[in-house]
Amino acid sequence: MNRRFLCGLLACLLCAGGAQASELADKLVTGNHVLLMRHAYAPGVGDPAGYSLARCETQRTLDAGGKAQAQRIGQWLQAQGVRQAQVFTSIWCRCQQTAERLNLGKPVVEPSLASFFDTPAKAPAQNRQMQAFIAQALKTKGERALILVTHHVNILEFMGQNIGSGDMVLARVNAQGQMLDYKLYPSP
């Protein structure tokens, strides 16, 4: 084989590989899929007594391992072909820290993603608010991925299953933002 042919073949393979997106990326550009993510690892359970949402130092936050995990997740998402995203996050610092480290755009705090760990009776109402938010956000996101960084209680109420820190749920939803089915992606 001559050198010119090999260079051309290599260029074609690289172009084809670069243009190919994963199933995850392909579904996230549609108008009926959303990626919910539990924040990366933050040691402990709940938040310390007297915590303040305005002061990260009073909350449970990501440790060095959690920060590295969040960066790995962002790199993994980009390797899957997720290039443009609307990233929304809970107001809790551990969620914001995770969302920022994804490196997929400036995250926006969304009230419907806030934890109700301390007030479990709010679960049904909070879930309806999140579903309404998903339905609205899917209408306006264009071809960008919709990524929501939230808490295990929110995801458990939405899909009926507990997931680990940094795990992701690709949910197919109806027009009201209610989950029809899902695929779980463990944290890379």
Residue boundaries of the structural domains of the chain: 23-40+53-185
| Distance of alpha carbon 3 from alpha carbon 1, whole angstroms | 7
| Distance of alpha carbon 60 from alpha carbon 49, whole angstroms | 11
Is the confidence at residue 4, as pLDDT, over 50?
Answer: no
pLDDT of residue 5: 41
| Distance of alpha carbon 112 from alpha carbon 129, whole angstroms | 6
| Distance of alpha carbon 38 from alpha carbon 90, whole angstroms | 10
**Per-residue pLDDT averaged across 122-133, rounded?**
98
* CATH architecture for residues 23-40+53-185: 3-Layer(aba) Sandwich (3.40)
Per-residue confidence band for 21, with pLDDT thresholds at 50, 70 and 90: confident
Give the closest residue to 44 by CA, choosing from 63, 64, 70: 63
This prediction has a pTM of 0.88
Percentages helix, strand, coil for the chain, rounded to the nearest 5? 45, 20, 40
| Distance of alpha carbon 41 from alpha carbon 62, whole angstroms | 6
| Distance of alpha carbon 41 from alpha carbon 10, whole angstroms | 40
Mean pLDDT, rounded, of the chain:
91
pLDDT of residue 6: 37
